[in-house]
Structure 1
């Protein structure tokens, strides 16, 4: 009996072929095989949201290969990824095969496995099922909703704001989160407050206590708000203390901390951002590689379970294996008496997948190190440790709280401390945190109630309230999950879209909305309030989950959404253009009022009399364009740090040129990634300090430098340059990371994927990451990959087609270039002759 297994990726196909043997032919679909026709009418609300699909051009050859193989197969197994997307891909393949009338008298089944190991794959083949239409319809409904929003709302943004903008059902609420946080920061007014502290010691063990009660009243955050108050309070306490303090209360208790649950998609993304410095998209790309399989010497093996999941649950076999590993490698007290079970909070947790875990806990990170790239190793190590730690005992602390009375019990200082007495799971893994001070370990001396100690000093400590922090990738993912916006598998694409559309920039690993992002958000929140509402978006996600569960039909859900949304689109088609603000300032050129407007590169100030008057200026510059803005003083020289505008954009300069000096003042361009509107003294000083000397290269002893150039941030060593990725900062990059990047440059830039030798034997073909996206290269010929084409899925055949098309396109251009070159050469000769004639006549140029 001839059997055909269809999967999504070619790397997975190779692994599964080895597991299944000669009875199976295994082919890859290379991702999605069909998508909506990219034009108006692809989803027809008037006919039950009928959807017009077409085969994706880049995958047409793979669809043909599948169809050809189906003709000779008796049984077809659809083994695409175990989620809604994978279910939909299987359905699309089946629909294409039906339309070609290739399924008559053939068995077609869906198989699902959550890890790519031999046992898991063979068990899945033995227990096939039919395609789940509730899952398919949930994915179709999501795709239709995204299409209806994109194809109807985006054109309105083009008309009212500027061309090229987009709005998304999930992307827009995510943008709203970032903009609202920025507005909150801008509106924040810092308040001064003071805390009062007492320093004492016992047996040379110095410790600090904080005032919690003053004259019988509880001390709040704003009880003491200025220096005069704190001086008065400190003076009184010193006077009544007479240099002594009495221990009035000692409370001891044992605290414990439980391990974090094993990774879900969301928590994996958050921890990879915090601990590894990865972006969410990089995290998912590396996790996909670990899931699909790594050659570990004895064969290709999937090292982790499926990485798109909301579930905390682990298979019983996996839990028992982890417990056995702990038993063999740790003392008895590290193993709980019974397995620890974690309850999933999310509804419809990605079709009851497992949490993300190693497929075999005995494959330690150390034993896998030789087979993994650096980023694969770091992510695998984190997943492995988290899975192991989740089945270990709690960490135990001795916590002590002590009250010290000064003068009487009406004035109390409190000292707290904790000591780790048993590490438990902390011996393996500790979860990271965002924007919070992690409670550290501090030890207090042994004290008894009634004990009298000497007061070493009583002092005040000044503080100022701080605004809420901007979102990092980790905290944004956490917020999206808490609000129920989107699903974890979509977070990476949401964040990428916001950056690609230039709605936000990532500065110092924090999101800042651009002028464009602010205007788009303002327009959507004012005119499409319901559709960027967090509750509405979350409720719609729940309805999609209900469809997946078979509890709701998808067409009524779409219809309910469309009726209100379509009416809103028509109502708002004539609203005023946003982003235009009249200023109480006259144009210095013609006298008409100036206005703030949104242009291609953000906000600018221009004359309301345009096009008759063409006066414009940067909103962050002074009214007189020749007048610089003072940011602050440069500490070493004491000269002003000036913000100016040049022909190539804004830049910083230290001081003005001196009349009698030929030496030019230091200047540094402000990179596009740093909005001028958010430029502060701290950032200005960092820019002025460039280039940064990172240290000496261990191989050459020559220095490694980080700087910003014409094409953005880079590292430099011995004449070799390498761009710093957008997700990293020129201000934060260290020597180790710089050396890693330079190694890629020295290797001629490490390819994303090697495709092998050209069929005609003329050299290697490989895929590289370029400034404008991934490209395939053969010799000196480079061809950019089509938008949406994942580098990992590009085949040799597709690469040859791209290179051939590029060569054909460049052929006439090269010919023209040669002619131009000849003309240029002649022109140069003529120019040289002219210069010689001028020189002989005594003319100067």
Structure 2
């Protein structure tokens, strides 16, 4: 019999097999094997009790069921089982699911952040138990995401009848960032201005300044480091012409020369977000593709784990880089090991992304790697080595000239010592100014004013959006790329010329959510949830108590309020906001049928309104359409069952709409079917009839209550119904 090592990805099997040798069986779970079932209220798969949460899990799909069957056989044949899922919360949670699904009593949890012989053997030599706090955080995230996604989608998004398929805790907050920027672009009104400058025969260009005192130049983005300099903005043609005339009419001389030496510290090594940003700007990889290529490098043992927000490097690696520099680049070796300040809010669970061996130079792996893998590995190697190098030294020069009462400024920068930029150059090209002396007269060659216009804020590229998500605390390293992918798949955003632009549907949905669930889409609100999950992961917060309180105090009331507001959306649509306001809140976010919907004769089993036939692009559906209720505030959907040759509700809702629950009698106020409601009073089991629509029961139908009495149902307000009670 052998030891059994359970991992996530089959891509690691070969490398781990070479490391561990005979006596080991390595099996992959193929990622997640279980998920919350699609049953219960809103198909959540869990019940929110008074003080506890009951979760029901099922195999993720048919493949996962077959994987679990294979793993059970492997467990029976093993002496000892080790769980080596990925070294993060998600990996810990997958390990817990494997333990539960395979009935493992005492699995040994091993964690390594690189697939090297030293790291893997060291981890196996020091196994631990599953970290229940990390598992709790993973389970809480799963429940929280499904609660928001499923409940919000069914009760808020679907009733909009605008073609939107879903909302989500991270997804909707990220969409809101894009829509806020898009509305700012739409509302932007360009302003004219002029940039005034002069050139001198001595060989340099200077820009207009109102004062000879140094002004802080506007910060430049790393992607825009080649952007042209400008003068202080002149807001009228008259003033611009006046400044040109002053420059031409008066002599020029050097008023002030300032020179100083500055140092530029090396950047930290990559974390998930910065890797995605750099791969996007330098290699033109999408975040999703970056992670796919990085996964392959990790599985081959070339880099450390690529889902991380820690900029920490291990002491042995730092020492190996110092030895490499001492041998190959001794002038770039700092006196002490370089330390970088951690990003606020990072989990610091494990190392930054780095090569597993600094001596595996990019050029040495060209034959072993694909072209894309080689390019990404070179990026990671260069950044990791640069992070441990000496700072760059710059000579910065500032020259102020004067003509009449106008001042002109030129700035120069020369790299005197390259330092870390030999491996990672993030500096602008040198700008060399001539050697001048104070008071020296200058020969004017040209004076000119360039007419310009202010530009709207730019749309975000995918790497820029990842950076913003990280800054705002939305999601975590493992969620950045999947969230952007979902937004594109849902057709809420398009990628146009490398920039993410919300579609009309995305703007409509965000506008509706901004009215119906305003807190949930705010980045700060989503970041607070991430902070709570962090507290659960460190054992400082009990996950069930957090989720129950969050639902009780915020989410359930917010959904109820949103459902009541949905009923008034037609009125809302009749009064659109003023120009420049929230333009996405338009009349199409109402009960009106989509333009491509077809009315049918099928009645809604919930409220009795006619169902509308809508097209679907879902690959999971055999039929290319589904039915959706056209009634206000309902949102019921039905799908075609080819075997039964009829439309059916989603499986989770069929039991709730059984014949024993619903009557054939309409509610006297709203017309929805009356439902039977069982309760206990004075120790006796009783049945009453009430409106079947929850939102109406809390509003206009709250007085609809028929009490059972001798085979009849009686209401103090609506009289008697001749309806037989179901047999006990």
Instruction: Check whether TM > 0.5.
Output: yes
How far is 1:292 from its partner? 0.7
**Is 1:366 paired with 2:363?**
yes
Q: 1:276 aligns with which of 272, 283, 288?
A: 283
Mapped partners of 1:603, 1:277: distance in 2: 37
Q: 1:512 aligns with which of 496, 501, 510?
A: 501
Mapped partners of 2:213, 2:141: distance in 1: 60
The alignment partner of 1:146 has SS state of helix
8 A contact 1:141–1:554 mirrored in 2: yes
Q: Which residue of 1 aligns with 2:559?
A: 569
Q: 2:53 aligns with which of 42, 46, 49?
A: 49
How far is 1:773 from its partner? 9.1
Q: Which residue of 2 aligns with 1:136?
A: 135
Q: 1:419 aligns with which of 414, 419, 424?
A: 414
Question: Which has the higher relative contact order, 1 or 2, with Cα contacts under 8 A spaced 6 or more apart?
Answer: 2
The alignment partner of 2:540 has SS state of coil
Mapped partners of 2:214, 2:308: distance in 1: 51
Q: Which residue of 2 aligns with 1:152?
A: 151
Q: Which residue of 1 aligns with 2:432?
A: 443
The alignment partner of 2:479 has SS state of helix
Q: Which residue of 2 aligns with 1:232?
A: 242
Q: Which residue of 2 aligns with 1:795?
A: none
8 A contact 1:248–1:449 mirrored in 2: yes
How many correspondences in the alignment? Answer: 574
Mapped partners of 2:232, 2:113: distance in 1: 54
Residues 578 and 348 of structure 1: is their aligned pair in 2 closer, same or farther, counting only changes over 3 Å? Answer: farther
8 A contact 2:44–2:146 mirrored in 1: no
Residues 267 and 364 of structure 1: is their aligned pair in 2 closer, same or farther, counting only changes over 3 Å? Answer: same
Mapped partners of 2:590, 2:503: distance in 1: 12
Q: 1:458 aligns with which of 447, 454, 457?
A: 447
8 A contact 2:395–2:415 mirrored in 1: yes
Mapped partners of 2:72, 2:543: distance in 1: 30
The alignment partner of 2:588 has SS state of strand
How far is 1:374 from its partner? 1.2
Report Cα offsets for 1:650-707 as digits up to 9, x if no partner: xxxxxxxxxxxxxxxxxxxxxxxxxxxxxxxxxxxxxxxxxxxxxxxxxxxxxxxxxx
Residues 60 and 218 of structure 1: is their aligned pair in 2 closer, same or farther, counting only changes over 3 Å? Answer: closer
Query: 1:29-178, aligned counterparts within 5 Å?
Result: 29-39=29-39, 40-46=43-49, 48-56=52-60, 57-98=62-103, 103=105, 107-155=106-154, 156-163=156-163, 165-178=165-178
Mapped partners of 1:292, 1:497: distance in 2: 25
Mapped partners of 1:86, 1:546: distance in 2: 18
How far is 1:439 from its partner? 4.0
8 A contact 2:207–2:231 mirrored in 1: no
The alignment partner of 2:190 has SS state of coil
8 A contact 1:43–1:148 mirrored in 2: no
Q: 1:291 aligns with which of 298, 301, 309?
A: 298
Q: Which residue of 2 aligns with 1:24?
A: 24
Mapped partners of 2:215, 2:27: distance in 1: 71
Q: 1:538 aligns with which of 521, 527, 539?
A: 527
Q: Which residue of 1 aligns with 2:258?
A: 251
**Is 1:483 paired with 2:472?**
yes
Q: Which residue of 2 aligns with 1:397?
A: 394
How far is 1:229 from its partner? 2.4
How far is 1:307 from its partner? 0.3
Mapped partners of 1:269, 1:218: distance in 2: 34
The alignment partner of 2:515 has SS state of helix
8 A contact 1:313–1:343 mirrored in 2: no
Report Cα offsets for 1:439-485 as digits up to 9, x if no partner: 44211100011111111122212221111100111111111111101
How far is 1:392 from its partner? 1.0
How far is 1:222 from its partner? 7.3
Mapped partners of 1:257, 1:525: distance in 2: 43
Residues 186 and 348 of structure 1: is their aligned pair in 2 closer, same or farther, counting only changes over 3 Å? Answer: closer
Mapped partners of 1:382, 1:45: distance in 2: 47
Mapped partners of 1:232, 1:132: distance in 2: 72
How far is 1:279 from its partner? 0.5
Mapped partners of 2:82, 2:571: distance in 1: 54
8 A contact 1:161–1:579 mirrored in 2: no
For normalisation by structure 2, the TM-score amounts to 0.75
Q: Which residue of 2 aligns with 1:597?
A: 588
Mapped partners of 1:348, 1:426: distance in 2: 26
The alignment partner of 1:229 has SS state of helix
How far is 1:578 from its partner? 7.1
Mapped partners of 1:233, 1:28: distance in 2: 72
**Is 1:325 paired with 2:324?**
yes
Mapped partners of 2:93, 2:178: distance in 1: 32
The alignment partner of 2:356 has SS state of coil
Residues 230 and 326 of structure 1: is their aligned pair in 2 closer, same or farther, counting only changes over 3 Å? Answer: same
Q: Which residue of 1 aligns with 2:179?
A: 179
Q: Which residue of 2 aligns with 1:191?
A: 191
Query: 1:624-643, aligned counterparts within 5 Å?
Result: none
How far is 1:604 from its partner? 7.5
**Is 1:384 paired with 2:381?**
yes
The alignment partner of 1:30 has SS state of coil
How far is 1:13 from its partner? 2.0
The alignment partner of 1:460 has SS state of strand
Query: 1:561-710, aligned counterparts within 5 Å?
Result: 561-563=550-552, 564-574=554-564, 575=566, 576-577=568-569, 581=573, 597=588
Question: Which deviates more from structure 2 when the two are superposed, residues 281-290 or residues 459-468?
Answer: 459-468
**Is 1:472 paired with 2:461?**
yes
Question: Which deviates more from structure 2 when the two are superposed, residues 309-318 or residues 453-462?
Answer: 453-462
How far is 1:226 from its partner? 2.6
Residues 201 and 3 of structure 1: is their aligned pair in 2 closer, same or farther, counting only changes over 3 Å? Answer: same
Q: Which residue of 1 aligns with 2:659?
A: none
8 A contact 2:37–2:58 mirrored in 1: yes
Residues 350 and 394 of structure 1: is their aligned pair in 2 closer, same or farther, counting only changes over 3 Å? Answer: closer
Report Cα offsets for 1:268-311 as digits up to 9, x if no partner: 01111111100100001111110011xxxxxxxx0000001010
8 A contact 2:209–2:232 mirrored in 1: no
How far is 1:549 from its partner? 0.6
8 A contact 1:347–1:545 mirrored in 2: no
Mapped partners of 1:490, 1:130: distance in 2: 26
8 A contact 2:570–2:587 mirrored in 1: no
